[in-house]
Structure 1
Amino acid sequence: MSKVKKILVDKGAEIPFYNRMDFCVGSGRMGLALHKEYYEQLKMVQEAIGFKYIRGHGLFCADMSLIQTYKDESGSQAVEYNFTYLDRVIDSYIDLGIRPFLELGFMPEHMASGEQTVFYWKANVTPPKDYKDWTDMVQAALRHLIDRYGRENVIQWPIEVWNEPNQPDFWKDADMDEYFRLYEHTALAVKRTDPGFIIGGPSISGRLDEACMRSFLEYVSYKKLPLDFISRHNYISHPPEKDGRYNYVKLSSIDDWFQPLDKTRELVDSFEEFRGMDIHVTEYNTSYVPDCPLHDTNLNAAYTAALLSRFGDKHASYAYWTFGDIFEERGVPYTPFYGGFGMVANNCIPKPTFWTFAFYKQLQGRCVHRSDEAIIIRRPEGSYRGILWNTDFGYEGRPLELEIQLPAEFAGYCLVTETVDEECCNPLKLWHDMGEPFNLTQAQTALLKRHSVPLIKSERISCSQSKIKISLMLKPNGVIYFDLSKTKMKSDRGYSYERILRGEIKGEG
């Protein structure tokens, strides 16, 4: 039997908690936004969570058709811009209440200095042959966005220069000196377009991150370049083990996961001119591979719940990579559950992690408790909301029994709990038990969706003492959201819920 852990809540407590989980979310490349199910998955996410910004790759890639070349009358190569698809993508975002966090990349083929590409859709990762051609394109795109969507709107869209230039897969030879040139030309061009734009970088991840970040800050400081925010990514797990099409990882501890981010904060603050500057973690997940079955699990949901409880302490935003599984870095997925980054599986099936974010969206108020397994807030009207998690990444299978003691301020309460764990909300297991079908029938899809929701329980609590005690059992890899709200019974004349339960029927005559 597990030992009961008691949580004592002081209604007057004020514990720092900055819930910025809904500022930004990641996406596959922008061109995928032209797909029907991409839109459906994003709509589903926005209705349940409601992110403010969305960031994805591929603004300048071929499937967006933004830049075209042709031979002019003299036979010379000329350039023209086509914003048809860009408008469709941005219009669809705005229709869903979300705006772009603009990542500038990758390199159009005719503009590239080399032929190195990444992903199956062949994103060119080499510097431009001519930096003026590059900055002309950047400025043309930004001017068009201002003309179409209005300056006051567009200058609020953050702009990030490139993606992971310290990784040789994403920037030729991981040449940081060349990246600094790219950043310099781009940042100056963006500010020339409109000084109100918000520009940042260097969008690094992993490899030599501390050295690369320091060099970037030194370069920007020495050159006195525009820099409105710092960006980086974070994927901390043990190296993946490949098996067929899939990669398997073992998670690091929560403290180890935050260690590189803490070092970045310290490094940024060591520069007087950058001290306190916003840091946007524009990508994070439990692994950096898009075919990792961990992403589809309840463990992923519980681990993410632990991350979200701490992430806002030192970061202006943190964008989960990604909102959905319409994602094709390594080709079109074969199955509905393929270990994709998304919080929504294909066929619009919510994964357990989807609910972690939906729960955190409800945590608006003053934090009165925060620990390694729970966060609880008090609303202005006196209600309480909280999230509890059991990160069993040690695979020990231990349930976590919690007793929460809350101050009783009213005579009656309604307690609602929503539970996501391996028994009541585990679409991956159901799909496995179905035989892991590659292509779902409509009936199978409907069944998976019905199973992919939290277990909801409710209870009326009458208070005769000064404390309310709530007992909850968190199964391994479980997440529980609770809402404790003041209620007052207002039954209609003659209505008796208790009589219904007793099954009483009034006889005739």
Structure 2
Amino acid sequence: MEEKLQYKINLTDKVPFHNNALFCVGTGRMNLALRKEYHDQLKKVQEDIHFSYIRGHGLLCDDMAVYHTYEEDGEMKVEYNFTYIDLVFDDYLSMGLKPFVELGFMPEALASGTQTVFYWKGNVTPPSDYKKWAELIKGLVHHLMDRYGREEVVTWPFEVWNEPNLPGFWKGADMEEYFHLYEVTANALKECDSRIRAGGPAICGVDDKRWLTCFLKHCSENKVPLDFVTRHAYAADAPDRDGHYEYQALREPKAFMDELRESRRIIDSFPEYEGMEMHITEFNTSYTPRNPIHDTNLNAAYTARLLSEMGDVCASYSYWTFGDVFEETGVAYTPFSGCFGLLANGMIPKPTYWAFSFFKNLKETAIARSEHFVMTMDEKRGICGIGWNPVEGNEDKDITLEFSLNLSNGDYMLVTKVVDENTCNPLRAWTKMGTPAYLNKEQLDLLLECARPKVDIKQIRVMDDATVFEIPLSSNGLCYFEIQQIYPKADRGFRPERIRGAI
């Protein structure tokens, strides 16, 4: 089944569009940043896409070796070690990334219990001593200011904990206990510098309306510092487990966006918080790192649509995650394991990698937008846009976007970069290889070749100040396009019509 969608574009039009796709990206736990493969993946992402901030779990977990106790003269004392944090943050900053600091989880020596989460056992219990927790936060911030400068650190957002509305991430999902943790932490941050921005409650979509309302009410009534609101957003239903994998159906994009709009409405219902920044500090299609959807073209096309809309209500939306060096449920058995990353291990770009790469190239001014595309223009009337066609299920539904533009007369170059199931699908190539768990060099090189967009260039001659061009999108297709005016001037004697393949 194929459908043609026709759009008449006026270059003088302006439509609302806030492209915050590159503000922040997610990462596995902080300790993983000490590994070479992690560094290499992040370096490639930054070279090609270049996010501004990075957020991840485990900053204060024991594998970061921050919090230590010792006995001296019969008294238990505390000392801090920021060696690993320095190594990680130095590396981030060297690549143009600022930390979006998530404060958690609990050091074992400061924890009130033994409950942990994930393969790497992050402690998710409250502190046994809130005074010592506040001292740890202040000690951390003062160290960061000493190392990186006060004026730099005040540009880093500080988020308190992760998904406390889930009992797996915060003991008993105890709301009042989290509010106390947030209050103590936010006040400790402000003691270091009143300009430090503190936020929460970092909730996911479980009982989220009540949690957000109660959190804002608590902060309002108790004059608790709050500079921004955070939450998470995922688009998948309950999983169906099969071996190492979990399969889920996707919600309609509108349902995903409605959830965010409701959070925006709740925030704005408090006069003192109306218009306050809402940061989505995690988002993806599925919330499990075992869902193969993350490796697919469907994921890329679906995510592109979300990227075109989330800026309507969110100050940022952090894709979870940049790479597949990630171990919440253990170490992956294969290069395509369903993990969250934009890059598969082996430095293989997944289709969604290109969605972010494409959004990087969009211009400031949007001139047209629909559920299938966004089109932007620069001050020189250069046009670029992205089209997408997510199709869940087994039935194909191809579409063609037909654009009528009032371009001035002349010659133009139309550049398209296509990512779809037929042209840029490393998962399918790996499947046809026999799904090898451990890639040799030849296999890896072949997959890298299968993981690049198909690039095409056409020349268009505009007469009568108008032109029509088409962007075909197969099922789960994603296409970046550019139109630029050109001024052909051939070298003396160069005759393309006399050269096979030159036209």
> Is this a same-fold pair by TM over 0.5?
yes
Confirm or deny: 8 A CA contact 1:382 1:409 kept in the other structure: no
Bigger shift: residues 341-350 or 467-476: 467-476
Question: SS of 2:414's equivalent?
Answer: strand
Question: SS of 1:490's equivalent?
Answer: coil
The amino acid that maps onto 1:51 is F
The count of aligned residue pairs is 502
Question: SS of 1:167's equivalent?
Answer: coil
Question: SS of 2:499's equivalent?
Answer: helix
Mapped to 2, the partners of 1:189 and 1:4 lie a distance apart of 58
Confirm or deny: 8 A CA contact 1:165 1:202 kept in the other structure: yes
Tell me the TM-score normalized by structure 1: 0.97
Residue 8 of structure 1: aligned partner: 8
Residue 144 of structure 2: aligned partner: 145
Q: What are the Cα deviations for residues 168-211 of structure 1, in whole angstroms up to 9, with x where unaligned?
A: 00000000100000001000010001111011000000211000
Mapped to 2, the partners of 1:90 and 1:490 lie a distance apart of 50
Give 5+ residue unaligned stretches, structure 2: none
Mapped to 1, the partners of 2:501 and 2:336 lie a distance apart of 45
Residue 341 of structure 1: aligned partner: 340
The amino acid that maps onto 1:168 is P
Confirm or deny: 8 A CA contact 1:367 1:376 kept in the other structure: yes
The amino acid that maps onto 1:333 is A
Residue 364 of structure 1: aligned partner: 363
- What displacement does 1:394 show? 4.5
Mapped to 2, the partners of 1:451 and 1:416 lie a distance apart of 20
Residue 39 of structure 2: aligned partner: 39
- What displacement does 1:34 show? 0.5
The amino acid that maps onto 2:326 is F
- What displacement does 1:410 show? 4.2
Mapped to 2, the partners of 1:253 and 1:387 lie a distance apart of 20
Question: SS of 2:330's equivalent?
Answer: coil
Mapped to 1, the partners of 2:186 and 2:3 lie a distance apart of 56
Confirm or deny: 8 A CA contact 1:176 1:212 kept in the other structure: yes
Q: What are the Cα deviations for residues 258-308 of structure 1, in whole angstroms up to 9, with x where unaligned?
A: 121111100010001100100000001001111110110000000001101
The reply to whether residue 397 of structure 1 matches residue 393 of structure 2 is: no
Confirm or deny: 8 A CA contact 2:23 2:318 kept in the other structure: yes
Mapped to 1, the partners of 2:249 and 2:317 lie a distance apart of 22
Residue 507 of structure 1: aligned partner: none
Mapped to 2, the partners of 1:498 and 1:152 lie a distance apart of 61
Bigger shift: residues 395-404 or 87-96: 395-404
Confirm or deny: 8 A CA contact 1:231 1:280 kept in the other structure: yes
Confirm or deny: 8 A CA contact 1:355 1:420 kept in the other structure: yes
Mapped to 2, the partners of 1:257 and 1:502 lie a distance apart of 47
The amino acid that maps onto 1:335 is T
Question: SS of 1:501's equivalent?
Answer: coil
Confirm or deny: 8 A CA contact 2:234 2:285 kept in the other structure: yes
Q: Within 5 Å, which residues of 2 pair with 1:25-424?
A: 25-72=25-72, 74-424=73-423
Bigger shift: residues 233-242 or 48-57: 233-242
Mapped to 2, the partners of 1:471 and 1:463 lie a distance apart of 15
Confirm or deny: 8 A CA contact 1:14 1:367 kept in the other structure: yes
- What displacement does 1:395 show? 3.8
The amino acid that maps onto 2:159 is E
Confirm or deny: 8 A CA contact 2:31 2:64 kept in the other structure: yes
Bigger shift: residues 400-409 or 428-437: 400-409
Q: Within 5 Å, which residues of 2 pair with 1:426-437?
A: 426-437=425-436
Mapped to 2, the partners of 1:421 and 1:77 lie a distance apart of 60
RMSD of aligned Cα (Å):
1.1
- What displacement does 1:396 show? 2.3
Q: What are the Cα deviations for residues 28-78 of structure 1, in whole angstroms up to 9, with x where unaligned?
A: 001110010111111111111110000000000111111222222x13322
Confirm or deny: 8 A CA contact 1:365 1:380 kept in the other structure: no
Bigger shift: residues 315-324 or 405-414: 405-414
Confirm or deny: 8 A CA contact 1:251 1:286 kept in the other structure: yes
Confirm or deny: 8 A CA contact 2:68 2:109 kept in the other structure: no
Mapped to 2, the partners of 1:384 and 1:394 lie a distance apart of 33
Tell me the TM-score normalized by structure 2: 0.98
